[in-house]
Chain A
């Protein structure tokens, strides 16, 4: 049986548009030092390092060996995973399995990106099939516009409903000194921002950021050795279902009754393991990888926070605002900061800090259980549940 796994150290850089003062190894090191300091340990207290980013953003091949001066991995086991936008959550899950396996007690997981050094859209476009998709695929914005168009067609939702999400995320970010964008916006501001790819406007989209995040994950045998209260990983799951741009909107997905099938299946996988039947009531906070505003409506439906088409009513009710029934993205989320390889791991980090009660201005009261999602290329989904209570057994 696997070991139970806890987060006991959290480190993140401030997310910024451009960090010309540090290179990639140095920005990684900032997050690593912060995580080690948080856990009250030095590099000697790490058994292995798992690190991820997206190769084509910084143009570094074998990034995991390139970065050992900053990651703390020198003369230690080092492994790289990369899954696109989900990379950050993938790192948390990799650390989970590495510790649960019993092979390592103390694993440092790192996600990072310096998008200021990248042609972000160019690099994302290369994710897609060179013959069938690439000639017509205009990067992440257009890919998401496809989903938004479908959503507006199938439901009563409006562009203004989505703008509410965009405003909420930016307002939440005002409480988070680590966020990249600090914007006090109105729905009118979003609606008046220029269209990037109908119906997605500039104000609906995430920025691209420089940043890094590191977490120390430890086994149940060592969880009490650290100054911060352990935050327990309750369950993890992912689904990466598709290879082509149009796959998520194919027959099985739509006619088959699915909305965002990978998110629906991955979330039900972890819900079943933890016993979640009413996510809106049972989760105290959610840090969701919402790269654009329409996701804050449609994906809430896929996550079971409301029925199909019920996203706008749920969100406009204030249930997902600070002070609502389940605040979504108190950190300001991805629409306020998006250092892509770090983004998913920042969601895990912020839920851990919420559970530890260390979120200061952005703290949600009395968080016991939190939900994390990661999103990536071709509509892939990672889902994790973190909690204050040690689970009865490892549930993977």
Chain B
């Protein structure tokens, strides 16, 4: 792959409700921040990818709502529906195609205006599954239970993820939900869907983000601190939950394998310095870490308990506070990428996790991590 870099990033604060902001207001803020970060004007953006979801937005062609605000007027533009990691990956493709020197990718979400349970219920088969009431939380509970049944991972270990990530959020001013918690607090919080308790869950969130991706020539002109895309992979598992072993992570392993191969990484535990992954529920962090190859299957809980994934540990995971501390769906993956970029630049402020040379960003689509996207980012080309 020819070198491609992230040259500008912008995030709005993630908040429970940004009542006075429309989708367009949030996107405008995020895009302005990304342009400011890159020191670019909108005229230097060659094409635009927007990321949104018609269900969450309650709008067919949900990108129409932000068409003017994202600055795409008179530019080639398209819309990826799914997590921001996927949209940004398509942005990389547009640069690699040789058609564009720079791509702006932006995403928005207003969880405050969404009926999240009905919307995620609509992921499921309309005839056989939806009437069960299954949605994001209950399906994830099935997965969490299957995972804990098969492997020696405990609810307490998952609670430690929640304690860690909510704690990290205190150091990230854009995070929505910094909380000083103990494992006992999490364990004592009410069950939403066994084994998932209230404090194992991400909140509903409003927010928007934007990144600017550039080819090597443009990247060098735009910034002194380009962050290079070293590896990419995405992969989709079977749809019906009964067609998968929910305790397994086949599509994530496959996506990671592709990304590592591209980046020339043979031992991620040694070669990756920091991870930002999609932790909508606390059990996901150890499970995805296993799928990403940072430990053997079943060792994810112990990895968390050992403190290695803490901000000052060997492998800081979700130093930003992760999705548990603010989860504007769609935007979430873009934020994972942006947090990695800030860490690689050494500009993550109070949540800077030491010196970071190689970072991994991760996002998912579909129920129970059906489809995964993995990015490897690095400070050196």
Contact between A81 and B60 (Cβ–Cβ < 8 Å)?
A: no
- With A2-B97, A75-B236 already in contact, the answer to whether A61 and B123 are too (CB < 8 A) is yes
- For residue B126, CB closer than 8 A to chain A, the reply is yes
Binary A-proximity of B64-77 (CB < 8 A = 1, otherwise 0) = 11111000111111
Q: Decide if B283 is an interface residue (CB 8 Å cutoff).
A: no
- Cβ of A306 to closest chain B Cβ, rounded Å: 24
What's the minimum C-beta distance from A374 to chain B, rounded to whole angstroms?
11
Q: In the complex, what residue of chain B is closest to A239 when comparing beta carbons? A: B74
* Residues in B246-263 with C-beta less than 8 Å from chain A: 250-251, 254-255, 258
Q: Which residues of A contact B73 (CB under 8 A)?
A: 241
Q: Is the beta-carbon distance between B236 and A76 smaller than 8 angstroms?
A: yes
The answer to the question of A45 belonging to the interface, with a C-beta cut-off of 8 Å to chain B, is: no
CB distance from A50 to the nearest CB of B (A): 9
Contacting pair A76 B93 (CB below 8 A) = no
List residues of chain A with CB within 8 A of the CB of B79.
81-83, 90
Are A61 and B55 in contact (CB-based, < 8 A)? Answer: yes
- Nearest A residue to B72 by beta-carbon distance? A240
Stretch at the interface among A92-100, A206-214, A321-329, A358-366: A92-100
Chain A residue numbers with a CB within 8 Å of B367 are: 62, 65
- A269 to B100 alpha-carbon distance, docked (Å): 13
Q: Does B325 contact A (CB under 8 A)?
A: no
A61 touches which one: B2, B66, B119 (CB < 8 A)? B119
Task: Report the Cα distance A11→B3, complex, angstroms.
Answer: 35
Given contacts A2-B96, A74-B236, A396-B99, contact A64 B82 (CB under 8 A): yes
Q: How far is the CA of A90 from the CA of B94 in the complex (A)?
A: 13
B1 in contact (CB, < 8 A):
yes
Docked-complex contact A97 and B93, CB < 8 angstroms: yes
Residue numbers in A under 8 Å from B68 (CB-CB) = 242-243
Render B232-245 as a binary contact track against A, CB cut-off 8 A, 1 for contact. Answer: 11111111100000
CA of A272 to CA of B78, assembled, Å: 21
Tell me the count of chain A residues lying within 8 A, CB to CB, of chain B. 59
Answer whether residue B32 sits at the interface, using C-beta atoms and an 8 A cutoff.
no
Rounded to whole angstroms, the CA-CA distance of A23 and B258 in the bound complex is: 33
Is the beta-carbon distance between B64 and A396 smaller than 8 angstroms? Answer: no
Decide yes or no whether A265 CB sits under 8 A from chain B: yes
Q: A389 at the A/B interface (Cβ < 8 Å)?
A: no
Choose the segment among A28-36, A120-128, A163-171, A293-301 that binds chain B (4+ C-beta atoms closer than 8 Å): A120-128
Given the known interface contacts A77-B235, A265-B74, the answer about A100 and B67 at a Cβ–Cβ threshold of 8 Å is no
Q: B337-381 CB contact bits vs A (8 Å, 1 = yes)? A: 000000000000000000000000000011100110000000000
Residues of A within 8 A of B64 (CB): 84, 127-128, 240, 242-243, 377-378
B59 touches A (CB below 8 Å)? yes
Number of A-B contacts (CB under 8 A): 193
A248: CB under 8 A from chain B? no
Please determine whether A97 and B97 come into contact, CB atoms closer than 8 angstroms.
yes
Which residues in A have their C-beta under 8 angstroms from that of B89? 79
Q: B17 interface residue, CB < 8 Å from A?
A: no
B81 at interface (Cβ–Cβ under 8 A)? Answer: yes
Any A CB within 8 A of the CB of B53: yes
Enumerate chain B residues within 8 angstroms of A78, measured Cβ to Cβ. Answer: 234-236, 371
B80 at the interface (CB under 8 A from A): yes
Tell whether, in the assembled complex, residue A68 and residue B123 are in contact, meaning their CB atoms are under 8 Å apart.
no
Known: A54-B54, A127-B61. A101 touches B96 (CB 8 A): yes
Q: Which residue of A lies closest to B49 (CB)?
A: A81
> Nearest chain B CB to A322's CB is how many angstroms away?
33
Distance A2 CA – B99 CA, assembled complex (angstroms): 8
Is the beta-carbon distance between B98 and A394 smaller than 8 angstroms? yes
Question: B residues bordering A, Cβ < 8 Å?
Answer: 1-2, 24, 53-55, 58-61, 63-68, 72-82, 86, 89-90, 92-100, 119-120, 122-123, 125-126, 232-240, 250-251, 254-255, 258, 365-367, 370-371
Closest 4 CB pairs of A and B: A396-B99, A65-B366, A2-B98, A101-B96
* Apart from A2-B96, A376-B61, 13 more pairs, CB < 8 Å: A55-B60, A59-B126, A66-B123, A66-B125, A68-B239, A82-B61, A83-B79, A84-B61, A97-B93, A102-B96, A127-B60, A127-B64, A240-B63
Q: Interface of A with B (CB < 8 Å)?
A: 1-2, 54-56, 59-62, 64-69, 73-84, 90, 93-94, 96-98, 100-103, 123-124, 126-130, 237-243, 265, 269, 376-378, 394-396
Q: Provide a sorted-by-A list of 29 A–B residue pairs whose CB atoms are within 8 angstroms.
A: A2-B99, A55-B55, A55-B60, A56-B54, A56-B55, A59-B122, A59-B126, A64-B365, A64-B366, A64-B371, A65-B366, A65-B371, A66-B123, A66-B366, A75-B235, A75-B237, A75-B254, A78-B235, A78-B236, A79-B234, A81-B78, A82-B61, A82-B79, A84-B64, A100-B97, A103-B1, A123-B60, A240-B77, A396-B98
